[in-house]
Structure 1
Amino acid sequence: MSPIRRVRPASVTPEPLQPGDNLRGAGLMILSMMGFTCNDAIIKFVTQDLPLYQVMTLRGLSVMMFLVFVTRAQGGLRLRLPADARWPMVLRLLGEVGSTLLFLNALTRMAIADLTAVMQSLPLVVMLGAALFFNETLGWRRLSAVGVGLLGVLVILRPGSGTFGIWALVALGAMLMVALRDLSTRRFRRDVTSGTIAFYAAVTVTVTGFVLSMGQGWVMPGPGQIALILVGAGFLTVGYVCGVAAMRVGEISAVTPFRYTSLLIAIVIGFVLFGDFPDMWTWIGAALVVGAGIYTIWREAKLGRRR
């Protein structure tokens, strides 16, 4: 099926685009990427001494607590879902849990910049998914940009090299699960608040982490580790809320390219905290990926002026 073909499931009725929605969505996406990447760095650091699923559980409990306070500004949590939001929620939670498990396991074994570089194919996959399922047309120019971005990912991974191994494949699996999560988010009406969606995600991930932690065992965390987990949970809360809101404001093809900012943030954090610095091929691949994203933004703006 061509991604240019205009296809929309009968059950999907997206909200009309409002002036400035694309700009607001882009800003929310950048904040989301900063929150997620800072959280990733903290989790990578803490799991050097604590079991992964214990950290996942403690972080999840902290996120749930933060979300309760955050959602008060939205009138509180409204956990009762409309009938047409239940299946999208099931799909989103499947993507949330799957992506979290795969990503965190890859994070403990890969350089944070390399892992983030693998995840940069996500906006391309989401853009294609939006064209297939949400009637967002992609012309040949933006499809070409998608191809260039995918080439950049291949340059970063360099199949056959030491970079492309089992954990790179795990990271790619995480990316596909995140794409499922984000595309499912698009099916919610705006009366289902971002905080409610994020809270359901936090509960499901926390319960999953707790169940898996029973097989790993627990270690008594120190005060510094608890503080870091709380800070990480704060960053993750920002990532959750802003990420959900970003995917519901503006067009997916206009908002998702701003995910590429996470690569730059990860490179800086990886160098400062872990001493990891990308090699020449990673820089070249990143330039292709980011360049493709910038082009799609420019192209979207140009098309918007014609409407």
Structure 2
Amino acid sequence: MSEALVKARADGTEPGVARGIGLCLLAMLVFASQDAITKVLVQEFAVAQFVMLRYWLFVVFALVYCHWHGGVGAAWRSGLPWLQLLRSLLAVGEIAIFSLGLRYLGLAESHALFAIFPLLALALARLWLGEFVGLRRWLAAAVGFLGTLVILRPGLGLFEPAALIPLSAALSFAVYNLVTRRVSQTDGFTTNMLYMAVVGALASSAFGLPAWRDPAPEEWGLMGILSVSGIAAHLLLIKALAYAPAAVLQPFNYSLLVFAMLIGLLVFGEFPDAWTLAGAALVVAGGLYAIGASPLRKQLTV
């Protein structure tokens, strides 16, 4: 690749960046559709069962991918195996917790609350890693927190305890991002993926097998689509990053909330109330303001 092309890609000015943004948006649409399927399945099945099936397919994919990119044995060698274990458990836990929340909350409400995770990662980076967080980024975190309070409306008699579920998922994902940043300083992509797949498959199977219920043919189809779409969405993101820097793509990740609202309306007849819309707007505004600061861009792009 030429020096000029590398510079253009780093600056986000390469014409192909538009393709990267398009792929990112498509990935967010797939993720939102995936959550709609999860919302259907979680009404009839234990969360662990379909999460387990997702990870079984994921581990097959990861093993094949690592075999063709240096070997499985090489990918399994980690400089920080215990942190890899923690990271992988946080990932499978986040998926399971968010899926459980969809049993009780709508797609839009769940994603509006989950969208606080970049700001949680910002605060935790200061508390746990001692990273500098300037006044502007603390202000962004405060705006996002205010948006969360607007959605929750504590003290007005409208607070739903189930709202704590996507917030717990957001906290897990924020910690997962911080641990991923740490292990990525030592381990490569194949190692990160292999540990996540293997540990996630084992952990989810420990709960999924005892809870197994035979699905009907159409339910098998939904579980199959759910499993394949998860891998497909991540591949779309990887491909998007080949065209555009992560700092350029990061704001477009908030389109997931828009897609979730549209799918919730069209498929489930859900329409978020004015409080949820206002709170979501504040959370997104805080996140975008924080992302605009270069130190946070760096921490979210590892």
TM-score (norm 1): 0.75
Amino acid at match of 2:228: G
Structure 1 residue 191 displacement after superposition: 6.9
Structure 1 residue 270 displacement after superposition: 1.2
Q: Does residue 79 in structure 1 map to residue 80 in structure 2?
A: no
CA–CA distance in 1 between the matches of 2:110 and 2:168?
A: 12
The alignment covers a number of residue pairs equal to: 281
For 1:10, the equivalent position in structure 2 comes to: none
Aligned-residue CA RMSD (Å): 3.7
CA–CA distance in 2 between the matches of 1:192 and 1:245?
A: 20
CA–CA distance in 2 between the matches of 1:103 and 1:79?
A: 29
Q: What's the CA shift string for 1:133-155, capped at 9, x where partnerless? A: 66764321222122111111111
Structure 1 residue 245 displacement after superposition: 10
Structure 1 residue 35 displacement after superposition: 4.3
Of the three residues 206, 210, 216, the one matched with 2:205 is 210
Amino acid at match of 2:89: L
Of the three residues 33, 36, 41, the one matched with 2:36 is 41
CA–CA distance in 2 between the matches of 1:163 and 1:238?
A: 38
Q: Does residue 263 in structure 1 map to residue 263 in structure 2?
A: no
Structure 1 residue 119 displacement after superposition: 0.7
CA–CA distance in 2 between the matches of 1:187 and 1:246?
A: 23
Alignment of 1:223-302 (within 5 A): 223-240=217-234, 258-300=252-294
Q: Does residue 114 in structure 1 map to residue 131 in structure 2?
A: no
Give the secondary-structure state (helix, strand or coil) at the position aligned to 2:75: coil
Change (3 A) 1:199 1:185: same
TM-score (norm 2): 0.76
CA–CA distance in 2 between the matches of 1:132 and 1:32?
A: 32
Q: Does residue 220 in structure 1 map to residue 226 in structure 2?
A: no
CA–CA distance in 2 between the matches of 1:245 and 1:184?
A: 23
Alignment of 1:27-176 (within 5 A): 33-71=28-66, 74-75=69-70, 77=72, 78-82=74-78, 84-132=79-127, 137-160=132-155, 164-176=159-171
CA–CA distance in 1 between the matches of 2:240 and 2:85?
A: 20
Bigger helix share: 2
Q: Does residue 200 in structure 1 map to residue 206 in structure 2?
A: no
CA–CA distance in 2 between the matches of 1:32 and 1:73?
A: 24
Change (3 A) 1:36 1:282: same
Change (3 A) 1:286 1:299: same
Q: What's the CA shift string for 1:57-98, capped at 9, x where partnerless? A: 22221222333455566455443223x321321221231233
For 1:6, the equivalent position in structure 2 comes to: none
For 1:12, the equivalent position in structure 2 comes to: none
Q: Structure 2: which 5+ runs fail to align?
A: 1-5
CA–CA distance in 2 between the matches of 1:108 and 1:298?
A: 34
Amino acid at match of 2:93: G
Change (3 A) 1:179 1:69: same
CA–CA distance in 2 between the matches of 1:21 and 1:178?
A: 26
Of the three residues 171, 177, 180, the one matched with 1:182 is 177
Q: Structure 1: which 5+ runs fail to align?
A: 1-17
Is contact 1:106–1:168 with CA below 8 Å preserved after alignment? yes
Q: What's the CA shift string for 1:7-28, capped at 9, x where partnerless? A: xxxxxxxxxxx8545858x958
Is contact 1:29–1:256 with CA below 8 Å preserved after alignment? no
CA–CA distance in 2 between the matches of 1:276 and 1:51?
A: 23
Change (3 A) 1:96 1:60: same
Change (3 A) 1:245 1:90: farther
Structure 1 residue 101 displacement after superposition: 2.9
